[in-house]
Amino acid sequence: MKFGCPTQHREGNNHRIRPKRHHHHQTTLDACEISKQPVIASHTAAQGVYYHARGKSDEEFEAIAKTGGVIGIVVVPIFLNGAAEVTMEHYLDHFDYIVKLVGHKHVGIGSDGPMSMSEQRWSTFIEKMLPGLGFRPEEDQLSRVGLPLKGLSDVRQFINITRGLVSRGYSDDQIRDILGGNWLRIMEAVWK
């Protein structure tokens, strides 16, 4: 058994949801291989749309879907696109990509974002906490991390996700699943 697999085995089979969001590529694949429960990536992005080290690969998405798991799309702009202004269209591109790859039953919202934080709170977060979260200086992320996602800068704009999915041709059932139904399925499966 590979290093870490005994722990993953215990964790993946005891009615706990084990997110694989910031885990290394191989750790995610190993967890998916041995878990008897659905595996989730609670908040990530598609490296196939925009490469960022904190995103996940197609191989990881396929492995998560094979477990019956869900991939939550993060709203943090620096993980979605390298543009100066990241918009809802960039965010929705990640939904389209992953839905095409593994199907809508494995995609959800995984916000983990700077929504509804005051400027002062963001300044404190960036200065005191962010440097310890593993951002690499060469990625120049600190200067961009607090920028809002245009069209989804706080929770009051979540309706824009629904509008965007409708405009891209998703059905009512697909939208219902993506907006929360898939997460409910995971909770019901794991917390029985």
Measured N-to-C along each axis, helices 159-167 and 88-102 cross at an angle, to the nearest 10 degrees, of 60
Provide the greatest CA pair distance for the chain. Answer: 48
Residue-wise pLDDT tens digits, 149-162: 889 878 889 999 99
Query: How far, in Å, are 37, 51, 112 from residue 79 at the CA level?
Result: 27, 8, 11
Report all structural domains of the chain as residue ranges with CATH numbers, in order of start.
5-190 (3.20.20.140)
**Choice between 14 and 148, residue whose per-residue pLDDT is larger:** 148
On the question of pLDDT at 138 being above 60, the answer is no
Residue-wise pLDDT tens digits, 43-98: 999 999 999 888 999 999 999 999 999 999 998 888 899 888 899 999 999 999 99
DSSP 3-state assignment of 82? coil
pTM exceeds cut of 0.75: yes
In the prediction, which pLDDT does 140 show? 55
